[in-house]
Amino acid sequence: MKYRTYFILLFQLMVTVLAYTASFYLRFEFTMPAEYFRMFYETLPILVVCRMASYYIYRIHTGSWLFVSMSDLVDTLKAVLLGSVLFVIGMVFVYGLEEFPRSVFILEAVLSVMLLGGSRFTIRYSYEFKHRVAPKVRKYVLIAGAGRAGVMMLREVQSNPGLGLQVVGFVDDNPYKKGTNIQGIPVLGNIEDIPALVKRLGIDEVIIAIPSCSYKDLVRIMDIARGAGVETRVFPSIGRLIEGDVYMNRLKEVSYDDLLGRKVLKFRRQSDYQLLNREINGKSILVTGAGGSIGSELCRQVAYFSPRVLILYERHENSLYDLELELRKKFPDQKILPVVGDILDTKKLDETLQANGVELIYHAAAYKHVPMMEREPIEAVRNNVMGTLNVARLAVKNGVDKFVMISTDKAVNPANVMGTTKRVAELVVQGLNGEGVKFMAVRFGNVIGSNGSVIPLFKKQIAEGGPVTVTHPDITRYFMAINEAVQLVMTAGAMGSGGEIFLLDMGEPVKIIDLAMDLIKRSGLQPGKDIDIVFTGLRPGEKLYEELYWKGEGIVPTENKKITMLRPNGDGHDDIFRKIGVLEEHVAEGDVEGILSVLKEIVPEATIGESSA
């Protein structure tokens, strides 16, 4: 390598002499007359100077011989042409052209190209052949896209046998390419023909080499290939690699908090910290529904304030197991008690409360999926009403100091079974308040990014290429981040003295269509072009908009500007527990009509029954 340049210059000099000698012998059919020997020797220095000067101008001596390409060949042609022009000019002004055989100019130039270019390509071929290894596993592949990227992919596969790939053919939606050959590899059909080609040719993998196609088309091709039972890979253009816009990482990660359209509330005041520290530190805390989105975040933030014991009460073992591992890693000194249990299991819950001297309960366990609860009203009542009543009564029995229930804005003028049951649960905790336990509820809107919420669904639909489904173009919802919802629950619980319903200033409601479009754009795609949005119609029990309170509820400010409080509207709760007893009888009998009838008696403003019966 140290003397590489000198060696190449010497080689170019030898090629020039050899090509010039061969051109004379070819011109005279290998019997060159004696007088032309003198002409040959006199003109050779002129040719050498012209050739070496042109090679230097195009820097032919700097090119790699192991990775020679078409661009190197083009530079060689240009250098030879320039050298020939300089040689002709030199001959005219130095030697003259009267007796010089004109065909030598052409023969010498052709031989120079053949010897110089051919030698470089021969060395490249011998290098690749020498380093060729037999692949351990061979896969037969189709390349989707017979354009420049597809040819690049073909070259890479052919020049790197160690990949263990053999290109069987191309597929391309351009009908004029079908039946043609690209470097000996046939274009076998279009994208839709992939399943048939896989079956007929035993294809193992499809490589998608169409960097210009939209995300929607990319997902379509991948779905077709995967539907045929073969693996898929995406080959990006060099431009996209440089830009960092590679298809495999095309979807940008979107923070849920960025979609709120407002700043996420963070209670960082020293007074808030002190309030929560007094509320939680050194006490026994139980969280029902600990494995859910809200419940798990409650556990994380409660653990920060070092309770005496944190009890994770959850009936789903997998989510409970994951949460336990996470908390033990983040809070190694915190005493954590995971309990696999149902809020309807009176005996186990009673034993848990009694054995651990629970002082504060965060009740997050509930069914929250509106359309599903329309189909399962019995389960909605059993879990949301009877489960809440069971936990609340056991809290009274075991002398719990505070009980904070997670409620929802769907409890206001409810149009669905889920919202109605949550309103009944609010009435339950208000009805029990004053029996030694400070009962309160926290009412808020949709938690962005929680299990079952619209954002994870949208993200999944976008990843699958769409369409994104929105029920109605005018539907709106209040949204909160999980961490601010939990901060509200904890702060409100610490502020409450019993009987209150707290709610958070969540800003203006957000149109779901705007949320969907924003998420698509933040994912690096374009609505309508890459991802379609379709409207599916309102689902059973779904309203166009939600409310946080209704007339008759008095809104009272609290010391925290972001939290307001709703006072009871003056109605008594004496008859609620009798009606819940009737409700329980209908549940035991499986009487859906009876359940809906009693629910409407307890919550007269509810509009339910038609789609659930």
| Domain match, 177 and 60 both | no
Question: Is residue 303 in a domain?
Answer: no
Cα–Cα distance between 518 and 401 in angstroms, integer? 44
User: Pick the catalytic residue: 410, 422, 459, 543?
Assistant: 410
| Domain match, 196 and 213 both | yes
Provide the pLDDT confidence category of residue 61 given band limits of 50, 70 and 90: low
Q: What is the pLDDT of residue 380?
A: 94
Q: Hey, what are 227's tokens?
A: 């539907």
pLDDT in tens, 229-284: 888 887 754 444 334 444 444 444 444 454 445 454 455 567 778 888 999 999 99
| Domain match, 213 and 175 both | yes
Cα–Cα distance between 469 and 462 in angstroms, integer? 10
CATH code for position 210: 3.40.50.720
Question: Is residue 469 in a domain?
Answer: no
What does 475-489 look like in DSSP terms, one character per residue? -EE-EEEHHHHHHHH
**Domain, as residue range, for 382:** 366-446+479-505+547-602
pLDDT in tens, 85-119: 888 888 888 777 777 888 888 888 888 888 887 77
| Domain match, 422 and 567 both | yes
Question: Is residue 254 in a domain?
Answer: no
Q: Hey, what are 83's tokens?
A: 């050298």
The residue among 146, 143, 138 whose CA lies nearest residue 165 is 138
Look up 216 and say whether it is catalytic.
no
Question: Is residue 223 in a domain?
Answer: yes
Please report, for the chain, how many H helices and E strands are present, in that order: 21, 21
Cα–Cα distance between 459 and 510 in angstroms, integer? 17
pLDDT in tens, 10-26: 877 888 888 888 888 88
Provide the pLDDT confidence category of residue 216 given band limits of 50, 70 and 90: confident
| Domain match, 21 and 92 both | yes
Q: Hey, what are 369's tokens?
A: 């999926």
105-114, 160-169, 473-482 — which is least confidently predicted?
473-482
Cα–Cα distance between 321 and 340 in angstroms, integer? 10
Q: What is the pLDDT of residue 320?
A: 95
Angle in degrees, 0-180, between the axes of helices 215-227 and 194-201, rounded to the nearest 10: 40
Provide the pLDDT confidence category of residue 453 given band limits of 50, 70 and 90: low
Question: Is residue 164 in a domain?
Answer: yes
% of the chain residues with pLDDT over 90? 28
Q: Hey, what are 166's tokens?
A: 């053999």
What is the largest distance, in Å, between two alpha-carbon atoms of the chain? 132
Cα–Cα distance between 121 and 115 in angstroms, integer? 10
- Higher-confidence residue of 246 and 306: namely 306
| Domain match, 82 and 147 both | no
What does 37-79 look like in DSSP terms, one character per residue? HHHHHHHHHHHHHHHHHHHHHTTGGGS-STT--HHHHHHHHHH
| Domain match, 422 and 556 both | yes
pLDDT over 50 at 157, yes or no: yes
- Tokens 């990843």 correspond to 463
Q: Do 496 and 434 touch, CB atoms closer than 8 A?
A: no
- The four Cα atoms 189, 190, 196, 202 give a dihedral, to 10 degrees, of 70
Kindly give, in sequence order, each residue whose CB lies less than 8 Å from that of residue 124, ignoring residues fewer than 6 positions away. Answer: 65, 66, 67, 68
Cα–Cα distance between 4 and 514 in angstroms, integer? 64
Point out the domain boundary residue: 249, 283, 314.
Answer: 249
Beta bridge partners of 480: 447
| Domain match, 151 and 119 both | no
Identify the burial level of 522 via C-beta atoms within 10 angstroms of its C-beta, where 0-12 means exposed, 13-18 middle and 19 or more buried.
Answer: middle
Question: Is residue 58 in a domain?
Answer: yes
Cα–Cα distance between 469 and 536 in angstroms, integer? 6
Provide the pLDDT confidence category of residue 594 given band limits of 50, 70 and 90: very high
Cα–Cα distance between 157 and 139 in angstroms, integer? 11
| Domain match, 437 and 377 both | yes
Question: What element of type H or E holds 8?
Answer: helix 4-27
Single-letter code of the amino acid located at 73: L
The residue among 476, 457, 470, 455 whose CA lies nearest residue 538 is 470
Number of structural domains in the chain: 3
Angstrom CA distances, 76 to 13, 22, 23, stand at 14, 19, 19
| Domain match, 29 and 120 both | yes
- The four Cα atoms 490, 496, 498, 503 give a dihedral, to 10 degrees, of -70
Point out the domain boundary residue: 130, 161, 179.
Answer: 130
Q: What is the pLDDT of residue 127?
A: 62
pTM of the model: 0.60
Cα–Cα distance between 305 and 362 in angstroms, integer? 15
Provide the pLDDT confidence category of residue 612 given band limits of 50, 70 and 90: very low
Angstrom CA distances, 267 to 240, 257, 271, 360, 487, stand at 43, 16, 9, 21, 7
| Domain match, 58 and 153 both | no
Question: Is residue 151 in a domain?
Answer: yes
Point out the domain boundary residue: 249, 271, 303.
Answer: 249
Q: What is the pLDDT of residue 359?
A: 96
Question: Is residue 436 in a domain?
Answer: yes
| Domain match, 434 and 565 both | yes
Provide the pLDDT confidence category of residue 549 given band limits of 50, 70 and 90: low
